[in-house]
Amino acid sequence: MNAFRFLGDMTHLFSVLVLLLKIYATKSCSGVSRKTQELYMLVFVARYLDLFTDYVSLYNSMMKVVFITSSAAIVWCVRRHPQVRRTYDKEQDTFRHAVLVAASFLLALMFHERFTFREICWAFSIYLEAVAILPQLVLLQRSRNVDNLTGQYVFFLGAYRAFYILNWIYRYFTEGHHSRWIPWLAGLVQTALYADFFYYYFLSWKNNVKLELPA
């Protein structure tokens, strides 16, 4: 554990809390991609299969539980909550996320560290997380006007990955050139996907205007 990893975990956690706050406070999931949330739930389930078999620390176990349960709660709200589900924009959230799942699975089968069930699932979760935000970004581009809480959610989600890249760089120089190329490459791809959003987020913050993305 180092400061960059901790900050990454906290910004990731904060992004989830912001999204839950939006849904429960407004009883609305307007601007939220259900498909992205389903992908994240799949990411966490596949990655944390070791939750009940490998104990690292209380902090580690708690974070795993929080991310699995929070993603499941968000998906349930969008799909089943009587009020929230009525605000879901199915017409705009049309990204074919099954393609991302299939592509990530094929990549995991071809590029992995060890050919075991858990390692394939881990690699699959890394590849899928790199592109899971795509349905959300496409939805925001289509709707153009981004409400404050949804914008904050995406911003902190991107910040989490940026901190993790700093964490990997730090570990490379302090832990005997520690490196795992799969999360490094996937993390760079994931961060690059946020570049356009960060640019317009910064402009809206600088000019003190509502965040709008180009169509």
> pLDDT (tens digit, 9 = 90+) per residue, 16-75?
999 999 999 999 999 999 999 999 999 999 999 988 888 889 999 999 999 999 999 999
213 lies in some domain: no
19 lies in some domain: yes
214 lies in some domain: no
212 lies in some domain: no
148 lies in some domain: yes
Range of the domain at 107: 3-207
How confident is the model at residue 177, as a pLDDT? 64
Q: How many domains does the chain have?
A: 1
95 lies in some domain: yes
215 lies in some domain: no
Q: Above 70 in pLDDT, residue 197?
A: yes
Q: Return d(Cα 100, Cα 135) in angstroms, integer.
A: 10
pTM comes to 0.91
